[in-house]
Amino acid sequence: MNSDRHVHTSFCPHGSTDTFNDYITRGIELGLKEITFTEHAPLPPNFQDPTPEKDSGMDAALLLDYFQELQVLKEHYKGKILIKRGLEVDFIEGYEKETKEFLNEVGEFLDDSILSVHFIKQEHNWHCIDFSDDTFNEIATKLGSVDAVYAKYYDTLEKSIEANLGLYKPKRIGHITLVHKFQRRFQPENNYDDRVYRVLDLIKEQGYSLDYNGAGFVKPLCREPYPPERFAKRAMDLGIPLVYGSDAHQAKDLGQGFDSLIPEFKR
Instruction: State the chain's mean pLDDT as an integer.
Output: 97
Mean pLDDT over residues 15-36, rounded? 96
In this predicted structure, what is the pLDDT of residue 26? 97
pLDDT band at 78 (very low <50, low <70, confident <90, very high): very high
| Whether residue 267 has pLDDT greater than 80 | no
Task: Kindly state the average pLDDT of the residues 41-60.
Answer: 96
Q: Are 18 and 250 in contact (CB under 8 A)?
A: yes
pLDDT for position 97: 98
Q: Give residue-wise pLDDT tens across range 219-249.
A: 999 999 999 999 999 999 999 999 999 999 9
- Please check whether residue 226 is in contact with residue 180, taking contact to mean a CB–CB distance below 8 angstroms: yes
Determine the Cα–Cα distance for residues 60 and 224; give it in Å rounded to an integer: 33
Torsion over CA: 10, 16, 19, 20 (sign): negative
Mean pLDDT confidence for 147-165: 98
39 pLDDT higher than 80? yes
Report the interhelical angle of 193-206 vs 229-238 (nearest 10°).
30
The answer, yes or no, to whether residue 70 has pLDDT greater than 90, is yes
Residue 1 pLDDT greater than 90, yes or no = no
* Nearest one of 11, 196, 6 to 115, comparing CA atoms: 6
Report residue 135's pLDDT band, with 50, 70 and 90 as the boundaries.
very high
Q: In angstroms, rounded to a whole number, what is the distance separating the alpha carbons of residues 226 and 178?
A: 6
- Position 252 confidence tier, pLDDT thresholds 50, 70, 90: very high
